[in-house]
A and B are shown apart, each in its own frame.
Chain A
Amino acid sequence: MQRNERILYALLTLLITALAVTGIMLEGPFQVVRQTLSLQTESARLINDFTRYGVGTAMFNAATVGALCLILVFYATVSLSGPTLSAILTVMGFSFFGNTLLNCIPLITGVWLASKMAHKTFGSYSLIALFGTALGPLVTHLMFHIGLPLGLSIPLGLVSGLAAGFILPAVAGSMLALHQGYNLYNVGFSCGFIGLFAANLLIATKKMQSLSIEWGTSFSLPLFLLVPLFSLILLVTSLVVEKPRKTLQGFLAIQKLSGRLPYDFFDTGHYGGTLANIGLLGLLYWAYVLAVGSPINGPVIGGIFTIMAFGGFGKTVKNTLPVLAGVVLSTLLFSKNLNAPGPLLAALFSTTLAPIAGQFGIIAGILAGAVHLIMVEVTASWHGGLDLYNNGFAGGLTASLFIAILQWYKTNRPEEDFTT
Chain B
Amino acid sequence: MKRKEFLGRLIGEVTNFLLEGNPLRLVVSLHQEPDGAHISFFDDRPRTEEEIARIYQALNPKQSRPELAEYYGLMAGHDMAWDARLKLIGWQIKHASVENSDSGLRIDLWLGSDAFNPENFTLHKKK
Smallest Cβ distance from A417 to chain B, in angstroms? 13
**A309 to chain B: which residues have CB within 8 Å?**
none
Task: Please report the C-alpha to C-alpha distance between residue A173 and residue B73 in the assembled complex, in whole angstroms.
Answer: 9
Q: Which positions 372-420 of chain A face chain B at CB distance < 8 Å? A: 406-407, 410-411
Question: Interface segment, B27-35, B39-47, B77-85, B118-126?
Answer: B77-85
Q: Are A125 and B75 in contact (CB-based, < 8 A)?
A: no
Interface: B65 (CB within 8 A): yes
Interface size in chain A (residues, C-beta < 8 A) = 28
Smallest Cβ distance from A376 to chain B, in angstroms? 24
**B72 to chain A: which residues have CB within 8 Å?**
176, 181, 261-262
Interface: A84 (CB within 8 A): yes
Q: Are A180 and B79 in contact (CB-based, < 8 A)?
A: yes
Q: Are B68 and A410 in contact (CB-based, < 8 A)?
A: no
Closest residue to A416 on the B side, CB-wise? B22
Q: Which positions 63-111 of chain B face chain A at CB distance < 8 Å? A: 63, 65-72, 74-75, 78-79, 81-82, 88
Q: Which positions 349-391 of chain A face chain B at CB distance < 8 Å? A: none
Interface: A167 (CB within 8 A): no
Q: Are B65 and A125 in contact (CB-based, < 8 A)?
A: no
Task: Please report the C-alpha to C-alpha distance between residue A406 and residue B81 in the assembled complex, in whole angstroms.
Answer: 9
Interface: A264 (CB within 8 A): yes
Q: Which positions 253-294 of chain A face chain B at CB distance < 8 Å? A: 261-262, 264, 267
Name, among B69, B70, B78, B81, the residue most crowded by chain A CB atoms within 10 Å (CB to CB).
Answer: B70
**B88 to chain A: which residues have CB within 8 Å?**
262
**B61 to chain A: which residues have CB within 8 Å?**
267
Instruction: Give the size category of B's interface with A.
Output: 10 to 19
Say whether chain A's binding surface is mostly helix, strand, loop, or mixed.
helix
**B63 to chain A: which residues have CB within 8 Å?**
79
Smallest Cβ distance from B48 to chain A, in angstroms? 21
* Interface 0/1 of A73-85, CB less than 8 Å to B: 0001011000110
**B78 to chain A: which residues have CB within 8 Å?**
177, 180
**A406 to chain B: which residues have CB within 8 Å?**
81
Question: Interface segment, A35-43, A63-71, A116-124, A326-334?
Answer: A116-124
**A261 to chain B: which residues have CB within 8 Å?**
72, 75
Interface: A128 (CB within 8 A): yes
Given known pairs A180-B82, A407-B81, A410-B81, the reply for A78 and B75 (CB within 8 Å) is no
Interface: A127 (CB within 8 A): yes
**A264 to chain B: which residues have CB within 8 Å?**
65, 68
Q: Are B81 and A411 in contact (CB-based, < 8 A)?
A: yes
> Can you name 22 A-B residue pairings with CB atoms under 8 Å?
A78-B65, A78-B66, A78-B67, A79-B63, A83-B67, A123-B67, A124-B69, A124-B70, A124-B71, A125-B67, A125-B71, A126-B67, A127-B71, A173-B71, A176-B74, A176-B75, A177-B78, A180-B78, A264-B68, A407-B79, A407-B81, A410-B82
What 8 pairs across the A-B complex have the smallest Cβ distances? A124-B70, A262-B72, A78-B67, A124-B66, A173-B74, A410-B81, A407-B81, A123-B66
B residues bordering A, Cβ < 8 Å?
Answer: 61, 63, 65-72, 74-75, 78-79, 81-82, 88
User: Given A180-B75, A262-B88, 16 other A-B contacts at CB below 8 A?
Assistant: A78-B66, A83-B68, A120-B70, A123-B66, A123-B67, A125-B70, A127-B67, A127-B71, A128-B71, A177-B75, A177-B78, A181-B75, A262-B71, A262-B72, A267-B61, A407-B82
